[in-house]
């Protein structure tokens, strides 16, 4: 499985150097070593996986989006040279980066890892993962959140207001502020942390120069939300609405915060509906609205929202994956497979998520052999070195072994994802232990879909699982669809029994 885009904030020390991840910078002693953002991100990727081979294909996927067309081979070589130059590393006798010919690179120095405390980052690492659970395809969704629809409803007057193109939004701004605003908007689309940081800087400059321009505050709220700062995201969104109550995206930021942090579903739904009345063709809004509906068990309505999303994004992975995800939670596994399959046919190099969903659907349909074949197809596609898996148990164990670093505090949804894997292996107590940990630490993002996710059906009646559900202050579902009689006593490994 490819590495997740974000990890908790860390400091990595190796042979007199220190690499800090937030902000991303390289130090030698107390002195900063100049390293451009792209090679710095590549260095972080290598250091995090010290001792492991990182393939050139993995590097390509991590550093460039699908719509970027460059000479990847030469660009990767250039970035590696930049890193070696910064570290004073000799490729003929490497102390840091070893080249594995025709395959990739391996960071060979011993690395001391230190995770920042919650006080140091105020929970930002948790929020990075919380945002990710809603955005499996951040770049595509980022494009959706700034869509300019044909028209919108003014909340006060109820009249339809024609949308304005980006150039018109900057009318009345100074040339410098207009340029900064346009730059910030374009950077938001890129789906990369470095771009979001630059977007935030651009929006802040506009806010200082044009303090009454609400859309700068709104853009800033998105940038810092993606960067993992819910406090500034909320303050910026509220400031935007004070200046202009008809800014849809600011309402979406507040809706997401109410949903994923406070689990205030009523408030989140109200804000989402207001936002979508202002901007009905906002892909980001439809995506999170769909997820809120699933959380409430309203899967039929979630499918309707996914259909609207698919109308807006007919040839994008976000629309197809969104529909597959909604159908999966409605337990329409055959239909979910069709959309997951079309998603991977259109975007074969994208992350594991549709494959994992597809495999889970096959398991529930009793097609274990097909599920194993699909798991091996994924491994081969991404050039994994481990031998092919022979059973589903091998697959679940492989995913579990590569979920996070040893001793690392799991991020948002990491506990629930690992719990699902333990449950697939029949390890009920290990699964419940992770969910209780999320409950004790109030990590709501790990618990959002417990009431509806089919992957928890084997323990839905288990007293320990019902206890975890109380964290959400939500009643149990009225029916026992999918729950297995006697599952509080024993769960079989998925696809094995």
CA–CA–CA angle 4, 6, 9 (5° rounding): 140
State the Cα–Cα distance between residues 258 and 266, nearest whole angstrom: 9
Strand 151-153 vs strand 17-21: parallel, antiparallel, or unpaired?
unpaired
Confidence band (pLDDT; 50, 70, 90) for 146? very low
State the Cα–Cα distance between residues 183 and 219, nearest whole angstrom: 11
Least confident piece of the model among 154-168, 272-286, 478-492: 478-492
Where do runs of H (alpha helix) occur along 279-391? 283-295, 299-312, 317-329, 333-346, 353-364, 368-381
- Whether residue 162 is predicted with pLDDT greater than 70 in this model: the reply is no
Least confident piece of the model among 44-48, 294-298, 352-356: 352-356
Q: Which of 90-99, 349-358, 477-486, 488-497 has the highest mean pLDDT?
A: 90-99
- Whether residue 367 is predicted with pLDDT greater than 90 in this model: the reply is yes
Average pLDDT, the chain: 77
pLDDT tens readout for residues 436-485? 888 887 776 667 888 888 988 888 889 999 888 887 654 333 333 333 33
Q: What DSSP character marks residue 71? A: -
- Tokens linked to 256: 């997401």
**For residues 365 and 479, which has the higher predicted lDDT (pLDDT)?**
365
Question: What is the reported pLDDT for 43?
Answer: 92
Question: What is the reported pLDDT for 10?
Answer: 62
State the Cα–Cα distance between residues 463 and 441, nearest whole angstrom: 20
State the Cα–Cα distance between residues 383 and 392, nearest whole angstrom: 19
Q: How many helices (H) and strands (E) does the chain have?
A: 23, 10
Q: Which residue has the tokens 């945002």?
A: 131
Nearest to 58 by CA among 381, 373, 408, 424: 381
Domains of the chain with bracketed CATH: 10-115 (1.10.10.10), 124-296 (1.25.40.10), 353-472 (no CATH)
- Tokens linked to 241: 């609405």
Question: What is the reported pLDDT for 116?
Answer: 45
Q: Three-class SS of residue 375?
A: helix
- Whether residue 166 is predicted with pLDDT greater than 90 in this model: the reply is no
State the Cα–Cα distance between residues 289 and 284, nearest whole angstrom: 8
Alpha-carbon 119 to chain mean position: 23
State the Cα–Cα distance between residues 497 and 495, nearest whole angstrom: 6
- The 10 Å Cβ neighbour count of residue 187 is 22
Q: Give pTM, 2 decimals.
A: 0.62
Question: What is the reported pLDDT for 216?
Answer: 94
Confidence band (pLDDT; 50, 70, 90) for 68? low
pLDDT tens readout for residues 76-109? 888 899 999 999 999 889 999 999 988 899 999 9
Q: Which residue has the tokens 């232990």?
A: 433
Question: What is the reported pLDDT for 473?
Answer: 59
- Residue 271 near residue 255 (C-beta atoms within 8 A): yes
Question: What is the reported pLDDT for 333?
Answer: 93
* Rounded percentage of the chain residues whose pLDDT exceeds 70: 72
């Amino acid at each position: 499985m490819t590495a997740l885009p974000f990890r908790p904030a860390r400091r990595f020390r190796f042979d007199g150097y220190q690499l800090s991840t937030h902000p991303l910078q390289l130090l030698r002693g107390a002195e900063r070593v100049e390293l451009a953002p792209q090679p710095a991100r590549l260095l972080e990727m290598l250091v995090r996986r010290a001792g492991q081979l990182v393939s050139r294909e993995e590097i390509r996927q991590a550093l460039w989006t699908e719509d970027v067309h460059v000479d990847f081979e030469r660009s990767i070589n250039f970035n590696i040279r930049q890193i070696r130059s910064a570290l004073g590393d000799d490729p003929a006798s490497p102390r840091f980066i070893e080249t594995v010919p025709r395959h990739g690179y391996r960071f060979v120095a011993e690395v001391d890892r230190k995770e920042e405390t919650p006080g140091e980052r105020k929970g930002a690492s948790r929020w990075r993962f919380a945002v990710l659970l809603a955005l499996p395809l951040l770049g595509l969704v980022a494009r959706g959140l700034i869509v300019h629809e044909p028209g919108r409803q003014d909340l006060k007057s109820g009249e339809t207001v024609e949308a304005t193109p980006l150039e018109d939004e900057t009318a009345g701004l100074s040339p410098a502020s207009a340029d900064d605003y346009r730059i910030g908007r374009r950077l938001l689309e890129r789906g990369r942390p470095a771009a979001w940081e630059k977007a935030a800087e651009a929006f802040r400059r506009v806010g200082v120069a044009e303090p009454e321009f609400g859309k700068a505050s709104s853009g800033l709220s998105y940038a810092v939300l993606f960067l993992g700062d819910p406090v500034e995201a909320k303050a910026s969104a509220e400031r935007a609405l004070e200046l202009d109550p008809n800014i849809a995206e600011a309402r979406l930021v507040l809706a997401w915060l109410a949903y994923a942090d406070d689990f205030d579903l009523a408030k989140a739904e109200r804000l989402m509906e207001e936002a979508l009345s202002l901007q009905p063709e906002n892909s980001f809004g439809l995506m999170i609205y769909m997820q809120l509906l699933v959380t409430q068990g309203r899967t039929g309505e979630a499918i309707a929202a996914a259909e609207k999303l698919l109308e807006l994004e007919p040839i994008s992975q976000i629309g197809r994956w969104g529909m597959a995800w909604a159908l999966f939670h409605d337990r329409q596994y055959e239909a979910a497979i069709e959309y997951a399959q079309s998603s991977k046919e259109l975007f074969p190099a994208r992350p594991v998520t549709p494959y994992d969903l597809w495999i889970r659907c096959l398991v529930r349909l009793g097609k274990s052999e097909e599920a194993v074949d699909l798991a091996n197809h994924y491994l081969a596609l991404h050039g994994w070195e481990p031998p092919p898996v022979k059973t589903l148990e091998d697959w679940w164990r492989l995913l579990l072994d590569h979920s996070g670093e040893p001793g690392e505090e799991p991020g948002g949804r990491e506990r629930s994802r690992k719990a699902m894997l333990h449950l697939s292996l029949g390890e009920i107590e290990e699964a419940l232990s992770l969910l209780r940990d999320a409950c004790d630490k109030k990590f709501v993002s790990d618990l959002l879909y417990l009431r509806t996710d089919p992957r928890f059906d084997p323990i839905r009646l288990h007293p320990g699982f019902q206890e975890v559900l109380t964290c959400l202050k939500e009643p149990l579902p009225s029916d026992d669809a999918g729950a297995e009689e006697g599952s509080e006593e024993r769960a079989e490994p998925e696809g094995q029994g």
